[in-house]
Amino acid sequence: MNAQDKPVEDLSRAEAEEELARLAAEIARHDALYYQQDAPEISDAAYDALRQRNMAIEEAFPDLIRPDSPRWRVGAAPASGFAKVRHAVPMLSLDNAFDEENLRDFVARVKRFLSWSDDEPLLFVAEPKIDGLSINLRYEQGRFVRGATRGDGREGEDVTRNLLTLKDLPKQLKGAAPEVMEVRGEVYMTKSDFAALNRRQEEAGGKVFANPRNAAAGSLRQLDPAITAQRPLRLFTYSWGELSENVADTHWGFLERLSDWGFSINPLAERCEDVDAMLALYHRVEAERAALDYDIDGVVYKVDRLDLQARLGFVSRAPRWAIAHKFPAERAITQLEKIDIQVGRTGALTPVAHLTPVNVGGVVVARATLHNADEIRRKDIREGDTVVVQRAGDVIPQVVEVVLDKRPEGTPEYDFPTRCPCPLQTEVVRHEGEAVSRCSGELACPYQQVEKLIHFVSRDAFDIEGLGEKQVQAFFDWGLIRTPADIFDLQEKDGADGLTRLKNRPGWGARSAEKLFEAIEARRRISLERFIFALGIRQVGQATALLLARSYGSLERWQSAMKQAASERHAAPQARKPEEVGQAYAELCDLSGVGMSMADEICAFFHERHNLEVLEQLEARLTVEDAVAPVTAADSPVAGKTLVFTGTLETMSRSEAKARAEALGAKVAGSVSKKTDYVIVGADAGSKARKAAELGVTILSEEEWRQMAGEAR
């Protein structure tokens, strides 16, 4: 059985690692399609199903959590064309529940975190989850001053002028309001307005939208506000960002204040006193879904008391105090026309099915992932087959099964390539314990070279305006760039050695070339976390890049420590425990969420001579800024400190204590070393407390820790 079809509890460690890699890559692609291009290829239910599987595997194998895990990501980086807005408070996403068991587990987790008993009553607010475009609205002195899309959760697009055309948006709030207030909501289009818009578009020969969500997003992101004004956009509000003062004690109270100020809130929202009431509302809303004049894809539950929300806080990309209960996935039948092979930056060969386009729940699907050779063989998938396609969570939809009674007679089996489709035709290898086949050409393979360059300039990395996939491929084909450093030499070498000037090449002109060179120059200064992420080290995504940057502080210190760790690992390749390898390697592994698998990938990167040359070349051309502590934690007494918790805490759970420490800018480690700053001991503290005493590390009681964290009773 293929790894992706096994229950989580049956996965081996190697299979789990393979599955997490597959899920991370595919979900990232669909995030870009949904948030940047407003052109999703799968349904929300399909998308959520793989997020659910990803989370389940991570819970079973917590040491395998990847830095590019979907749990760390929200949306995608903002598209070009609008000014960018940095959110004062990040706009995070929600974890998902797909059935009753998931929901009951969520409520149980909340109570465990709070150290509450199972029978202690806990009130929730339930609201339909609108399928639209998330928005942040900023008010100062009660007057609307700016609006921005969610973007990647930290930075969105300034769409203020377009939002001003919405009738549902109060330009001036009714009554008294905080000096500064950010209101969050969803811009959407009703089903009836969507149908009317498409009729007008078709009559005028314009673009016909696939569904109301795409229509709403496309309308709000028009560069000409006059076009937005012609589109019937609506707004529901449900949350907040930055607030200069508290406005309510409960979420329900906040919704009532929103209504008083003149905002629209969903009329189906209700308070629920327990899980049974939450489920009853879910089934009632699901039954009414088709009759509603707007699209919803589930129900969101939020802990009602705001003081409890503050205690629960956030984990990675989502709040602990809220969850989205999604509606089921959808399927469709179509024909698989052909199978193509894509080569990623790590050399992984991914088979992709090209389908006769089919509408699955309002979204046109034309491609589906086939994952790997084992998947094709197990399902006996062949070119020309009629197949069942499901939008069940993959970034590209997946082929569920073949309709065998519709297979043309004599259809041959699909032969997975043994040679890379790149011009070098290098041999394809498959390592023991892996389901992924890889090109053995590595840096010699042009497909991998191009993919690494595309990653380097991507929006979450160097974000060079005007240098996307097509441009990188063209520059590579023209011989203008081979390594990341070549990008920063483009202008200097433009037209040198008899080469054609960029402005004279196909698709370019004097102004577009000038703008590209300006964009490249603007990226000669970059933050350390973006620089680390741009290097494309396997398993190192945005979250880990940020963790590494904050842990080591500067490029010089990070490189020095990684080179030392790589040297230690090379000298002890068979060691099974971090402490058996060496101090630098052990300290790397001790960072929250890293572990030996990820540390080995980082060490492998720093052991490769070519990679060190690339780093040297980039250092000579760039200024990499030192990392800074989070603004909210800048004045914290534990910012930048390493903490270890041990024993049983009485006033908070271990999870709550760890979350609070990280929110204050501290690093929470699992073991005590000479670099540990504080060890917080609860009841029955054991070996960690003894080791702290032996090393002379400062030991704090739980009460002393609470005082340091500003939570003294």
Distance CA 435, CA 15 (A): 8
Q: Count Cα atoms within 13 angstroms, Cβ side, for 103.
A: 24
pLDDT digits (tens, 9 = 90+) for 11-39: 888 888 888 888 888 887 777 676 555 56
Closest Cα to residue 378, out of 405, 392, 399, 409?
399
Mean pLDDT throughout 82-102?
Answer: 87
* Phi/psi of residue 224, nearest 5 degrees: -105, 110
What was the pLDDT predicted at 456?
Answer: 92
Per the confidence metrics, is the pTM higher than 0.95? no
* Phi/psi of residue 331, nearest 5 degrees: -130, 165
Start and end residues for every CATH 1.10.150.20 domain found in the chain: 445-487+489-523, 528-628
Residue 158 has pLDDT above 80, yes or no: yes
On whether the CB atoms of residues 364 and 209 are closer than 8 A, the answer is no
DSSP string, 216-255: HHHHHT-SSHHHHHTS--EEEEEEEEEESS---SBHHHHH
How far is CA 247 from its chain centroid? 31
Give the contacts of 593 (CB within 8 A, at least 6 positions apart). 65, 67, 543, 544, 547
Pairing of strands 678-681, 363-369: unpaired
What are the structure tokens assigned to 675, written together? 């670099």
What was the pLDDT predicted at 93?
Answer: 85
Residue 534 has pLDDT above 70, yes or no: yes
171 labelled catalytic: no
Distance CA 46, CA 31 (A): 13
Q: Count Cα atoms within 13 angstroms, Cβ side, for 115.
A: 11
The structure tokens 């160097």 sit at: 462
What are the structure tokens assigned to 137, written together? 């609205």
List strand residue ranges (DSSP E) for 569-621, in order. none
Dihedral angle computed from the Cα positions of residues 372, 378, 384 and 390, in that order, rounded to the nearest 10 degrees: -80
Start and end residues for every CATH 3.30.470.30 domain found in the chain: 120-298
Pairing of strands 314-315, 318-319: antiparallel
pLDDT digits (tens, 9 = 90+) for 407-426: 999 999 999 988 888 777 87
Task: Tell me yes or no: is domain 445-487+489-523 CATH 1.10.150.20.
Answer: yes
pLDDT digits (tens, 9 = 90+) for 641-682: 888 888 888 777 777 788 788 778 788 887 888 888 999 988
Instruction: For the domain covering 528-628, report its CATH number.
Output: 1.10.150.20
Q: Count Cα atoms within 13 angstroms, Cβ side, for 338.
A: 2
What are the structure tokens assigned to 199, written together? 């009729």
Which class for 454: exposed (0-12), middle (13-18), buried (19 or more C-beta within 10 A)? buried
Instruction: For the domain covering 633-708, report its CATH number.
Output: 3.40.50.10190
Pairing of strands 678-681, 698-701: parallel
Residue 147 has pLDDT above 80, yes or no: yes
Fold exhibited by the domain 3-73+330-406? OB fold (Dihydrolipoamide Acetyltransferase, E2P) (2.40.50)
Higher pLDDT, 280 or 56: 280
What was the pLDDT predicted at 270?
Answer: 96
Pairing of strands 296-303, 314-315: unpaired
Start and end residues for every CATH 3.40.50.10190 domain found in the chain: 633-708
Mean pLDDT throughout 627-635?
Answer: 60
Distance CA 207, CA 198 (A): 8
Residue of 6, 129, 452, 503 marked catalytic: 129
On whether the CB atoms of residues 246 and 107 are closer than 8 A, the answer is no
pLDDT digits (tens, 9 = 90+) for 544-576: 898 899 888 899 999 999 999 999 999 998 898
What was the pLDDT predicted at 308?
Answer: 95
Residue 468 has pLDDT above 60, yes or no: yes
pLDDT digits (tens, 9 = 90+) for 32-65: 676 555 566 777 667 777 788 888 888 788 767 7
Mean pLDDT check: name the lowest of 280-289, 339-348, 696-705.
Answer: 339-348
Residue 498: band (very low, low, confident or very high) from pLDDT cuts 50, 70, 90: low
Residue 75: band (very low, low, confident or very high) from pLDDT cuts 50, 70, 90: low
pLDDT digits (tens, 9 = 90+) for 372-404: 888 899 999 999 999 999 865 434 688 989 999
What was the pLDDT predicted at 394?
Answer: 37
pLDDT digits (tens, 9 = 90+) for 162-192: 898 898 999 999 999 999 999 999 999 999 9
Architecture of domain 120-298: 2-Layer Sandwich (3.30)
Distance CA 146, CA 136 (A): 8
User: What mean pLDDT is reported for the chain?
Assistant: 85
Q: How far is CA 566 from CA 445, 539, 574, 584, 601, in A?
A: 25, 16, 14, 9, 10
What are the structure tokens assigned to 437, written together? 């086949």
